[in-house]
């Protein structure tokens, strides 16, 4: 334990948390020096935590598709999810993408309740990416997107479709309208889904961490003032990490 | 806003928003409600709930292993101003890494060391001052043993309460599980706990978990063993004021909640 004791106890606790969160750390020799029986218990606890975490996030994110017989919680009890747990890094974007893709594939096999079914599943998948990603993003020299943030154009008017589904109202062709939505999550955990205009969409896609605000303005053919305003808005909703230069 | 009952134990439950209507109809059975989440903006029943029940703040306010941010302190203050309960609860837990990039998203105990004791003492004082209310702290069980502890859980808690004057929220399923997984009897496990500091008890059931291959906390009524343990503690806890059925889950039904509270009332003769 002498190596571990050279750190502060708080640092050591971080190591314990990381051990439980990250299956690759548990498999590596750089993990915690636990006797075999306790290591086995820790692994069981890690699986318990992950199953609980994704069950909760799936239930919160796939709230509308469940109205059509799809059960997001039941997915965490399938063999496919068991296999995922063996490599899971709890709260990572990669894990959220894997679980989201697996679930959507599972749900797409169900009879579609309407022509908007694929759009609804995509909406819920992108919401889930925000709910199930807890990784931090540090500031870089230039503005860049938070890894889980997504900007997607749908063929159906999702905001109104969701309202109709919530109140069990009919959903007809009048809801067919292109709408671009931005999905993001602040560092305090608040999730945003907002309809965005062309300028915001363009700035979001151009803010790749390699372009300065002036270069983003040149790329998007927007004024510097508009770009700055949009970047501030994107940072407020957790979609973009502002420049480390302020 | 109603006050906690005086002259006897208050027997309550957690506020589960989907059970608001049955809770309002059962106001004679449930004395108080603990709030694990802030009321949702579209929770139409909450104003009636607040008018009918004393409310206890039992939200996640922050992990006291680390200093709380100004935002977290302001949020805690705001919640306590909303509920105006006789005390505020937090947990002996450390579940997020310092950089915030990793989280267990579940209660998890700190290492029981001098450094963590100092951290919890300092940060608990700050939280208590911010909310301007007594602070009670809840025990959290471990599932596996680490060789880094410098003291037992009981010593950690005793020294914390001696230094801060905070109260103990003793979660009995947590005690039962900690005892179970360390191969001890729950009463023997509690032998060195500062039971004289207990202000509130949590009771609930346990169920087998497939991943843990053993029992864990469940939103089910307390077993007779848990209720017997609660009575045993109550005899040693002169400051005990409330017993709360600790279940907060969308799957919880009104029937289970009310049966659990009624069983607890019967056990305590309330």
pLDDT tens per residue across span B16-61 = 999 999 999 987 899 999 999 999 998 999 999 999 999 999 999 9
Closest among A80, A83, A60 to A72, alpha carbons compared: A60
Q: Are A117 and A228 members of one domain?
A: no
Q: Distance (Å, rounded) from C-alpha B105 to C-alpha B95? A: 7
What pLDDT score was predicted for residue B187? 98
Q: What pLDDT digit, counting tens, does each position of B62-74 carry?
A: 999 999 999 999 9
Residue carrying the six token digits 């109260």: B167
Judged by CB atoms closer than 8 Å, whether chains meet at A91 and B99 is answered as: no
Domain boundary among A135, A159, A194: A135
| Minimum-distance CB partner of B98 among A10, A51, A53 | A10
Helix A213-220 × helix A198-206 angle, to 10° = 130
Residue from B103, B112, B118, B123 to probe the interface with A (highest A Cβ count within 10 Å): B103
Closest among A93, A42, A51 to A75, alpha carbons compared: A51
| Residues A111, A112, A114, A120, CA torsion sign | positive
> Domain range for residue B241?
10-268
| Minimum-distance CB partner of B102 among A18, A41, A59 | A18
Q: Which residues of A touch B181 (CB under 8 A)?
A: 41
CATH code for the domain in which residue A238 is found: 3.90.930
Q: What pLDDT digit, counting tens, does each position of B173-220 carry?
A: 999 999 999 999 999 999 999 999 999 999 999 999 999 999 999 999
Does residue B2 sit within a domain?
no
Q: Distance (Å, rounded) from C-alpha A78 to C-alpha A229? A: 46
Judged by CB atoms closer than 8 Å, whether chains meet at A134 and B147 is answered as: no
Q: Are A239 and A190 in contact (CB under 8 A)?
A: no
ipTM (interface pTM): 0.93
- What value does the mean pLDDT take over residues A36-58? 95
**Chain B residue with minimum CA distance to A54:** B105
Dihedral through CA B226, CA B229, CA B230, CA B231, nearest 10?
A: 130
Closest among A76, A163, A81 to A120, alpha carbons compared: A163
Q: Structurally, how many domains does chain A consist of? A: 2
CA B254 remoteness from chain centre: 21
Q: Which residues of A touch B100 (CB under 8 A)?
A: 134, 136, 187
In this structure, the number of other CB atoms found within 10 A of the CB of residue B174 comes to: 22
| Minimum-distance CB partner of A48 among B103, B116, B211 | B211
Q: Copy the structure tokens of residue B159.
A: 């020294």
What pLDDT score was predicted for residue A145? 94
Q: Are A119 and A155 members of one domain?
A: no
What pLDDT score was predicted for residue B146? 87
Q: Which residues of B touch A43 (CB under 8 A)?
A: none
What pLDDT score was predicted for residue B270? 92
In this structure, the number of other CB atoms found within 10 A of the CB of residue A128 comes to: 26
Q: Distance (Å, rounded) from C-alpha B4 to C-alpha B2? A: 7
CATH code for the domain in which residue B50 is found: 3.20.20.150
Helix, strand and coil content of chain B, in percent to the nearest 5, comes to 40, 15, 45
For the question of whether the overall pTM of this predicted structure is more than 0.95, the answer is no
Residue from B144, B210, B212, B251 to probe the interface with A (highest A Cβ count within 10 Å): B144
**Chain B residue with minimum CA distance to A85:** B211
Residues 6+ apart with CB under 8 A from B176: B186, B206, B225, B226, B229
**What counts of helices (H) and strands (E) characterise chain B?**
9, 10
Percentage of chain B lying above the pLDDT 90 cut: 94
Q: Is the pLDDT of residue B88 over 50?
A: yes
Q: Are A146 and A185 in contact (CB under 8 A)?
A: yes
User: Does the CB of A15 have a partner CB in chain B at under 8 Å?
Assistant: no
Q: Distance (Å, rounded) from C-alpha B254 to C-alpha A110? A: 32
Does residue B5 sit within a domain?
no
Q: Are A20 and A46 in contact (CB under 8 A)?
A: yes
- CA–CA min distance A218, chain B (Å): 34
| Residues A92, A98, A101, A102, CA torsion sign | negative
Q: Distance (Å, rounded) from C-alpha B3 to C-alpha A231? A: 49
Q: Structurally, how many domains does chain B consist of? A: 1
CA B262 remoteness from chain centre: 19
Q: Copy the structure tokens of residue B101.
A: 């990039």
- CA–CA min distance A18, chain B (Å): 7
In this structure, the number of other CB atoms found within 10 A of the CB of residue B152 comes to: 13
Q: Report residue A33's pLDDT band, with 50, 70 and 90 as the boundaries.
A: confident
Judged by CB atoms closer than 8 Å, whether chains meet at A10 and B144 is answered as: no
Q: Report residue B1's pLDDT band, with 50, 70 and 90 as the boundaries.
A: confident
What pLDDT score was predicted for residue A183? 98
Name the average pLDDT for chain A.
Answer: 92
Q: Which residues of B touch A188 (CB under 8 A)?
A: 71
Q: Are A87 and A141 members of one domain?
A: no
- What value does the mean pLDDT take over residues B246-267? 95
What pLDDT score was predicted for residue A244? 63
**Chain B residue with minimum CA distance to A53:** B105
Closest among A163, A171, A177 to A117, alpha carbons compared: A171
Q: Are A3 and A116 members of one domain?
A: yes
Does residue B3 sit within a domain?
no
Judged by CB atoms closer than 8 Å, whether chains meet at B104 and A21 is answered as: yes
Q: Are A123 and A236 members of one domain?
A: no
Judged by CB atoms closer than 8 Å, whether chains meet at A13 and B65 is answered as: yes
Phi, psi angle pair for A197, to nearest 5°: -90, 180
Sheet architecture: strand order including A176-185: A150-156, A176-185, A191-195
- What value does the mean pLDDT take over residues A151-158? 97
- What value does the mean pLDDT take over residues A89-106? 96
| Minimum-distance CB partner of B209 among A14, A48, A91 | A48
**Cα dist from A51 to A78, A99, A153, whole Å:** 11, 11, 31
Residue from B68, B146, B208 to probe the interface with A (highest A Cβ count within 10 Å): B146
Q: Copy the structure tokens of residue A121.
A: 């599943």
Pairing of β A240-241 and β B167-171 = unpaired
- CA–CA min distance A140, chain B (Å): 16
Q: What is the DSSP string of B71-122?
A: HHHHHHHHHHHHH--S-EEEES---B-TTSS-B-SS--PPP-SHHHHHHHHH
Closest among B264, B244, B267 to B32, alpha carbons compared: B244
Q: Is the pLDDT of residue A54 over 60?
A: yes
Which run of H or of E encompasses A193? strand A191-195
**Chain A residue with minimum CA distance to B72:** A188
Q: Is the pLDDT of residue A1 over 60?
A: no
User: Does the CB of A93 have a partner CB in chain B at under 8 Å?
Assistant: no
Q: What pLDDT digit, counting tens, does each position of B125-155 carry?
A: 999 999 999 999 999 999 998 888 999 999 9
Residues in chain A: 246
In this structure, the number of other CB atoms found within 10 A of the CB of residue A121 comes to: 23
Q: What pLDDT digit, counting tens, does each position of B215-254 carry?
A: 999 999 999 999 999 999 999 999 999 999 999 988 899 9
Residue carrying the six token digits 């009897």: B185
> Domain range for residue A168?
137-246
Q: Report residue A188's pLDDT band, with 50, 70 and 90 as the boundaries.
A: confident
Closest among B104, B106, B152, B159 to B137, alpha carbons compared: B159
Q: Are A11 and A101 members of one domain?
A: yes
Q: Are A57 and A133 in contact (CB under 8 A)?
A: no
Q: Distance (Å, rounded) from C-alpha A178 to C-alpha B57? A: 44
Q: Are A81 and A103 in contact (CB under 8 A)?
A: no
Q: Are A74 and A195 members of one domain?
A: no
Q: Are A67 and A129 members of one domain?
A: yes
Q: Is the pLDDT of residue A2 over 50?
A: no
């Amino acid at each position: 334990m002498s190596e571990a004791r050279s750190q502060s106890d708080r640092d050591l606790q971080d190591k314990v948390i990381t051990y439980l969160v990250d299956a690759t750390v548990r498999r590596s020799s750089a993990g915690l020096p636990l006797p075999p029986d306790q290591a086995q218990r820790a692994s069981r606890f890690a699986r318990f935590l992950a199953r609980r975490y994704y069950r909760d996030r799936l239930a919160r994110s796939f709230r509308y598709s469940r109205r059509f017989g799809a059960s997001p919680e039941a997915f965490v009890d399938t063999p496919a999810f068991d296999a995922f747990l063996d490599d899971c890094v709890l709260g990572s974007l990669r894990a959220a993408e894997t679980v989201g893709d697996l679930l959507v594939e599972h749900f797409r096999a169900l009879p579609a309740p309407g022509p908007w079914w694929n759009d609804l599943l995509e909406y819920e998948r992108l919401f889930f990416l925000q709910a199930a990603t807890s990784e931090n993003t540090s500031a870089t020299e230039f503005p860049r997107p938070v890894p889980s943030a997504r900007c997607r154009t749908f063929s159906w008017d999702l905001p109104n479709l969701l309202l109709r589904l919530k109140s069990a109202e009919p959903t007809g062709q009048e809801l067919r309208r292109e709408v671009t939505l931005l999905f993001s999550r602040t560092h305090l955990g608040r999730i945003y889904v907002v309809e965005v205009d062309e300028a915001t969409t363009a700035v979001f896609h151009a803010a790749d961490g390699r372009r300065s605000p002036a270069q983003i303005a040149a790329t998007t053919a927007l004024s510097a003032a508009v770009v700055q305003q949009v970047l501030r808005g994107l940072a407020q909703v957790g979609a973009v990490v502002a420049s480390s230069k302020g | 806003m109603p006050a906690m009952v005086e002259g006897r134990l208050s027997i309550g439950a957690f506020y589960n928003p989907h059970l608001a209507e049955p809770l309002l109809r059962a106001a004679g059975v449930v004395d108080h409600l603990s709030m694990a989440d802030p009321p949702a903006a579209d929770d139409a029943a909450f104003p009636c709930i607040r008018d009918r029940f004393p409310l206890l703040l039992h939200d996640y306010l922050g992990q006291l292993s680390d200093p709380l941010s100004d935002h977290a302190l302001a949020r805690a203050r705001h919640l306590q101003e909303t509920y105006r309960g006789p005390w505020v609860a937090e947990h002996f837990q450390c579940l997020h890494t310092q950089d915030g990039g990793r989280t267990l998203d579940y209660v998890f105990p700190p290492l029981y060391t001098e450094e963590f004791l100092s951290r919890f003492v300092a940060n608990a004082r700050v939280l208590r001052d911010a909310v301007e209310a007594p602070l009670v702290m809840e025990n959290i069980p471990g599932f596996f043993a680490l060789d880094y502890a410098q003291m037992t859980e009981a010593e950690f808690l005793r020294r914390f309460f001696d230094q801060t004057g905070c109260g103990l929220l003793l979660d009995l399923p947590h005690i039962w599980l900690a005892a179970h997984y360390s191969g001890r009897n729950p009463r023997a496990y509690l032998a060195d706990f500062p039971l004289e500091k207990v202000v509130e008890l949590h009771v609930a059931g346990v169920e087998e978990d497939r991943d843990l291959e053993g029992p864990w906390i469940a939103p089910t009524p307390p077993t007779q063993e848990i209720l017997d343990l609660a009575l045993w503690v109550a005899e040693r806890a002169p400051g005990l004021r409330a017993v709360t059925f600790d279940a907060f889950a969308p799957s919880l039904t009104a029937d289970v909640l009310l049966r659990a509270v009624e069983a607890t009332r019967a056990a305590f003769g309330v």
